[in-house]
Chain A
Amino acid sequence: GQQLNQSPQSMFIQEGEDVSMNCTSSSIFNTWLWYKQDPGEGPVLLIALYKAGELTSNGRLTAQFGITRKDSFLNISASIPSDVGIYFCAGSRGNKLVFGAGTILRVKS
């Protein structure tokens, strides 16, 4: 079963609003990752976090790796229609990735 708890399960927001989603785990991960999946496609890596407490930005995206290595959040600023999709958090342990169940983002124009 899933070892990462991701919330919220879905969001429906106005274009231009900021979005925040998070992920928690009972286990420590070496690396924390955020992916976006568009319909009919595989997930695409958005941000990778390697150090506890690390804050990383990629354009309008900002993500932070929790101090305990057991949680992370992703913020999207000034959302636009193309931000729709499913956002997954994932933790790496050895050679494997463990994924959360995803946050479905819908944006109203």
Chain B
Amino acid sequence: GAGVSQSPSNKVTEKGKDVELRCDPISGHTALYWYRQSLGQGLEFLIYFQGNSAPDKSGLPSDRFSAERTGGSVSTLTIQRTQQEDSAVYLCASSLVADRPETQYFGPGTRLLVL
């Protein structure tokens, strides 16, 4: 596609439920990144993929968070047993190569609200 797309654009869920967030990167981009943006805060790095492998998962806040990427393309971020503090905008970005993070293009984000 023309840019990075994310779905759903908005998600409201109840505390304790699991959610899956999807990211479709720009075609041909080998690196994919997930960030979390809480209200009034900057972006917080969660995880990045080079191809299908995740060399850096250091930003995942707890073991309730996981992510996978298949076929070197689509990625899903899964949050299990959601908590109210998980409410945030989850942004995905992709870049042609991983060692040029300044070349990342961002998607519009998924706004998650945990009630």
Interface residues of A (CB under 8 A from B): 2, 4, 6, 31, 33, 40-45, 48, 88, 90, 92, 95-102
- Judged by DSSP, the binding face of A is strand
Given contacts A33-B102, A45-B102, contact A4 B108 (CB under 8 A): no
Instruction: Write the chain B residue with the least CB distance to A102.
Output: B42
**A95–B55 Cα gap in the complex (Å)?**
10
Q: State which of B31, B43, B50 has its C-beta within 8 Å of the C-beta of A43.
A: B43
Interface residues of B (CB under 8 A from A): 4, 31, 33, 35, 40-45, 48, 50, 55-56, 91, 93, 98-99, 101-102, 104-109
Chain A residues with CB under 8 A of B104 = 45, 97
Chain B residues with CB under 8 A of A92 = 101-102
Given contacts A2-B41, A101-B41, contact A96 B106 (CB under 8 A): no
Q: State which of A6, A31, A40, A97 has its C-beta within 8 Å of the C-beta of B43.
A: A97
Q: State which of A44, A45, A96, A101 has its C-beta within 8 Å of the C-beta of B42.
A: A101
Chain A residues with CB under 8 A of B107 = 42
Do B102 and A48 touch across chains, with their CB atoms under 8 A apart?
yes
